């Protein structure tokens, strides 16, 4: 049961700020906890540093947009981005649902180019405005109540309330936190991390990223698909 204090103590020993057999002070513990939580907060927006994606549903009601965040329509911790989205249509009397992919629009400038944003029809596109404290998800065309909207987002990495809190993460994260926290803490003690420590930190993070890596299947946009063929020798299309 590894706690925040355990990892902070090991990190300080790794940079030589704490000797063998010495006890960590309350001030160093508080500073280490604050730095640890800041580091976890940065990692929470890195796709390969997060081990789990969550699927959250909300029933469409004809609105142009829906709020995303704690207390919003999608009641989850506010995500920095939406990784994927789809609409679920429950077939009348069939007892089975059909899911339709929604293409994410990455930039507000692209969403702004849509002329009739209130068009009511099957939802094909979505734009996520990552406002704070609640984000806003815009659908186009606007779906009615026949659809259940689903968004796929990164799960949050825990923030430790106290240094005595148990770090509830998969085992490979403990080494990543220990060695990287040491590098984060070193400047506060006017110390320079050793090359060996830097290599340990990089390798520990590489292990976690490799564990979390999920490569989506490559797809071809409809506009680029064509039945015609090009002859490179005759420079002709047929």
CA 31, CA 103: separation in Å to the nearest integer? 43
DSSP character at residue 3: B
Residue 96, pLDDT score: 78
CA 142, CA 121: separation in Å to the nearest integer? 6
Residue 92, pLDDT score: 61
Q: Tens-digit pLDDT profile for the chain (238 aa)?
A: 899 999 999 999 999 999 888 899 999 999 999 999 999 999 999 999 999 999 999 999 999 999 999 999 999 999 999 999 999 997 665 567 899 999 999 999 999 999 999 999 999 999 999 999 999 999 999 999 999 999 999 999 999 999 999 999 999 999 999 999 999 999 999 999 999 999 999 999 999 999 999 887 777 666 666 666 767 777 777 6
pTM above 0.85, yes or no: no
φ and ψ at 166, to 5 degrees? -75, 135
Conformational region of residue 103, where left means phi above 0, alpha means psi within -120 to 50, and beta covers everything else: beta
Give how far Cα 173 sits from Cα of 13, 50, 204, 206, 221, Å: 18, 10, 8, 11, 37
Burial label for 79, CB within 10 Å (0-12, 13-18, 19+), is: buried
């Amino acid at each position: 049961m590894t706690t925040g204090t355990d990892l902070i103590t090991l990190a300080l020993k790794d940079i030589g700020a704490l000797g063998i057999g010495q006890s960590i002070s309350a001030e160093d513990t508080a500073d280490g906890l604050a730095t640890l939580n800041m580091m976890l907060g940065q990692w929470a927006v890195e796709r390969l540093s997060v081990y789990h994606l969550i699927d959250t549903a909300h029933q469409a009601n004809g609105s142009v947009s829906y709020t995303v965040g704690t207390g919003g329509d999608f009641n989850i911790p506010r995500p920095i981005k939406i990784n994927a989205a789809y609409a679920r249509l429950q077939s009348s009397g069939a007892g089975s649902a059909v899911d339709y992919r929604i293409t994410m629009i990455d930039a507000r400038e692209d969403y702004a180019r849509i002329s009739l944003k209130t068009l009511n029809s099957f939802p094909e596109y979505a734009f996520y405005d990552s406002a704070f404290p609640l984000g806003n998800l815009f659908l186009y065309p606007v779906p009615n109540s026949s659809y259940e909207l689903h968004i796929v987002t990164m799960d949050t990495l825990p923030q430790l309330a106290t240094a005595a809190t148990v770090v509830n993460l998969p085992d490979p994260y403990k080494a990543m936190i220990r060695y990287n926290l040491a590098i984060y803490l070193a400047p506060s003690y006017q110390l320079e991390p050793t090359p060996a420590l830097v290599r340990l930190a990089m390798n520990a993070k590489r292990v976690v990223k490799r564990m979390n890596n999920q490569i989506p299947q490559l797809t071809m946009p409809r506009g680029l698909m064509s039945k015609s063929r090009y002859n490179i020798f005759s420079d002709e299309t047929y």
